[in-house]
Amino acid sequence: MSPSSPLFDTGRVEHRRAFLINLLYFAVIAGALFLAVRTLFVWMLPFVFALLVALALQRPVKWLNHKTRLSKKVFSVAFVVLIILILAGLVALIGWRLGESLASYFGNAENIQVIQDTVTSLGDKLQSALAGLASSLPPEAESSLDSAVSNLTSSLIGLLTDGFTSAANWAVGFTSRLPQMLLSFIVWVLASIFLTIDYDQVRAFALRQLPKRLVPLLRTTRDLCQNTLFRLLRAYLLLMLITFVELCVGLGLLRVPYFIGVAALIAVVDILPVLGTGTILLPWAVISLITGDLFRFVGLALLYAIITIIRNILEPRIVSQQIGLHPLVTLFFMYLGFHLAGLAGMLLLPAAVMVLVQLQKGGHIHLWK
């Protein structure tokens, strides 16, 4: 076989070799990151959030430092304290309004009586319906029905018991985790202040530990990550706005007092990890059913279903438009990310793929043709 044969094409061999090296390199990096996320991410969360705060505060702190000539320490502490006050204010406001509403409702003896009457009425209707059904059945079928009702009652009692036990266990677990949560909060505050003050030194130290040939690639990757995360944030703010409009229309039709403020609160809860519109709408619907307000129960249930369907349809499309991936590709990596790392993976894996696509287009890596 002659050296001019395609099998001896040096350029092609080198290209394949470079592809395999790059693929192996990014596979190792991806595997290491995945293991880090699964094992260390929860422990490192205070420092991750502190780094995000430091990144967000660099421009305003440097601008104010340049304009006023005051120390960066002053503005760093001031901004972190301001963030804490805003978050604490939001939590306190939501908790106060929720507690006030619950206390106002359940503190009214008439409302308690309405709930008791409704539950009693539902029980009486169910009992009379079963009695009417049993009277129309032959004796052997009536015996089977009694047995089925007895089993159903036992199952419901067991379900309620398990529910109360789970709730009690969760409360105990939450209480036992309070010291750890407080420690994590203190670490986050201190790390945010230190990183905001000494961000340039920390960044320079990290860059000195890396091979010089990787520094340009890492800077490009950093810029792409910032741009992609900004686009991702814009996508979810747009989804939150759509949810807010849907809630305003639905709650307005249900004649909910202060429906615009309530819609804004639920839309903010919807964008938070783990939580969603169902966190508020579903318990609200159940309470409406218990209190006998069937119109509001049906309306809230339909509103939740409509919001969920529209969200599932629009989310892959809007996210794909913002980060520049095909909707099918975005849907695939959102689904894969959710199964690998939960909600964080669902949000971050499509963004990571987008960064790889941009690096490929810019000629910095060569993973595919």
**End-to-end Cα, the chain, rounded Å:** 28
SS3 297: helix
- pTM for this prediction: 0.55
What are the backbone dihedrals phi and psi of residue 256, each rounded to the nearest 5 degrees, phi first?
-80, 130
Q: pLDDT tens digits for 162-215?
A: 666 776 676 677 677 778 878 888 888 888 888 888 888 888 887 787 777 777
SS3 77: helix
Q: Contact, 232 vs 322, CB < 8 A?
A: yes
pLDDT in the model for residue 135 = 66
pLDDT in the model for residue 327 = 75
Contact residues for 343 (Cβ-Cβ < 8 A; gap 6+): 273, 274
pLDDT in the model for residue 244 = 92
Which residue type, as a one-letter code, is found at position 164?
F
Token pair listed for 302: 């339909």
CA-to-CA dists, residue 9 to 1, 17, 20, 183, 300, angstroms: 12, 12, 17, 61, 68
What are the backbone dihedrals phi and psi of residue 241, each rounded to the nearest 5 degrees, phi first?
-65, -40
Q: Where are the chain's structural domains?
A: 29-112+153-209, 224-369
Alpha-carbon distance of 91 to 85, in angstroms, equals: 10
Contact residues for 12 (Cβ-Cβ < 8 A; gap 6+): 6
Where residue 275 falls (left for φ over 0; alpha for ψ -120 to 50; beta otherwise) is beta
Residues of the chain with pLDDT below 70 are: 1-13, 15-16, 18-19, 22-23, 25-27, 30, 33-42, 94-95, 97-146, 148-150, 152-164, 167-168, 170-171, 174, 272-275, 341-344, 362, 364-369
pLDDT in the model for residue 68 = 83
